[in-house]
Homo-oligomer: A and B are copies of this chain.
Amino acid sequence: MTTFPLNAWYAAAYDTECGRQLLARTVCGQAMVLYRREDGSAVALDDACWHRLLPLSQGRLDGDQVVCGYHGLVYNSEGLCTHMPSQDTINPSACVRAYPVVERHRFVWVWPGDPALADPARVPDLHWNHDPAWAADGRLIHVKCDYRLVLDNLMDLTHETFVHGGSIGDRAVAEAPFVATHGDRSATVTRWMEDIAPPPFWAAQIRRARGWTGRVDRWQIIRFEAPCTVAIDVGVAEAGTGARAGDRSHGINGMVINTVTPETATTCHYFWAFARNYMTHEQRLTHEIREGVARIFREDEHVLESQQRAIDARPDRSFNNLNIDAGSLWARRLIDGLIAAEGGVTGRPVIPLQVRQA
């Protein structure tokens, strides 16, 4: 069963992780070694020597080239073997696969599928992660679940009420109606909670940023871009000042940036960041929010890994759906479409074509 398309850009590393040391990372089941050339550009090669399969990540860099740590074969950054020990001629077929790489929005993206299709224009827009009008910080976490469970989680924020009751969740989220729409490669869930008491996190933010302590209009606009990126526009504004109609000048705005890279069928690399457009020079606030979000995501991690274990233990069971699943159902259908377009077969019928809803 195929759980992810190969012809897509996947975040393989935060920019800071990739440097002049060799980094081993598995993306879509493909073990890669990542590093930077002396000019700073990022490289991703197959992490197995052509000769005897030792991971190249256990070797060393020599300029822009990688030297295998077993017998000293040398590969250039296009993956061609340029030196073999104890012989003058080189087998012209000796090489390792080089993956298309693009660095954008603070992530190093790789394309594990057909290189001819690797169009940089298809890297998802996550510009808030480096735009000077925003302050952003985040982390990479390794989660032992199918990456699609993380997407389900993000596409339905109702779970905040039950999983994150102490911070960002309250009954308002579960009770508020939402609108789900979709395009060819994206799906959007929009939820407005108007004239409500803000939950603890937002109450503290708007008090600090604007000195406001009253009722708010709150929004969550969740945008999925296939196959694995979710950017969530979140915020609150003073109640009744027109935020829903487009005037956010009385409010504060965050972007929750998420891109979830399959490692294997049941594990993933979850890259996230939280960006904000207020008090952008307050380092302490940046630090505080990053730690706060990390705490919240650890609650999700616990749920997601439990869910994966439950799925593994019940191979005969599929999911059932509620109204709240409209967004995640569209995300799943878009992913299934990409997989089918590559000739793959998706797994158990988690999501029927005719969306069943309660």
Complex Cα distance, B303 from A4, in Å, reads 32
A35-85 CB contacts (< 8 Å) to partner B: 47-48, 50-55, 58-59, 67-73, 84-85
Partner of A307, one of B70, B72, B162, B310: B70
Interchain CB contact under 8 A, A358 and B320: no
Stretch at the interface among A88-96, A135-143, A194-202, A245-253: A88-96
- Cα distance, A87 to B324, chains bound together (Å): 8
**In the bound complex, do residue A358 and residue B89 qualify as a contact, i.e. CB atoms below 8 Å apart?**
yes
Interface of A is mostly: loop
Let me know if A354 is at the binding interface, CB within 8 A. Answer: no
* Tally of contact residues, A, Cβ under 8 A: 54
Sorted nearest first, the 7 A-B pairs with minimum C-beta distance are: A91-B358, A53-B310, A72-B162, A85-B174, A87-B323, A86-B324, A54-B307
CB-based nearest B residue for A72: B162
Please indicate the chain B residues that have their CB under 8 angstroms from the CB of A184 in the complex: none
- Asked if residues B54 and A310 are in contact (CB atoms below 8 Å), the reply is yes
Which one of A117-125, A152-160, A278-286 is at the interface? A152-160
A313 contact from B31, B90, B175, Cβ within 8 A? B31
- Write out the residue numbers on chain B whose beta carbons fall within 8 Å of the beta carbon of A71: 156, 158-159, 162, 322, 324
- Which of these, B85, B162, B177, contacts A69 with CB under 8 Å? B162
From B53, B303, B310, B324, give the contact of A317 (CB < 8 A).
B53
- For A306, what are the chain B residues with a Cβ–Cβ distance below 8 Å? 54-55, 58
Known contacts A54-B310, A87-B323; A317 and B159 CB within 8 A of each other: no
Q: A48-B310, A55-B306 are in contact. List 14 more A-B contacts (CB 8 A).
A: A50-B320, A51-B319, A51-B320, A51-B321, A53-B319, A54-B303, A58-B302, A84-B322, A86-B158, A86-B174, A86-B177, A87-B324, A90-B358, A91-B358
Complex interface residues of chain A between 167 and 190 (CB less than 8 A to chain B): 174-178
**1/0 contact string of A277-317 vs chain B (CB within 8 Å):** 00000000000000000000000001100110011011001
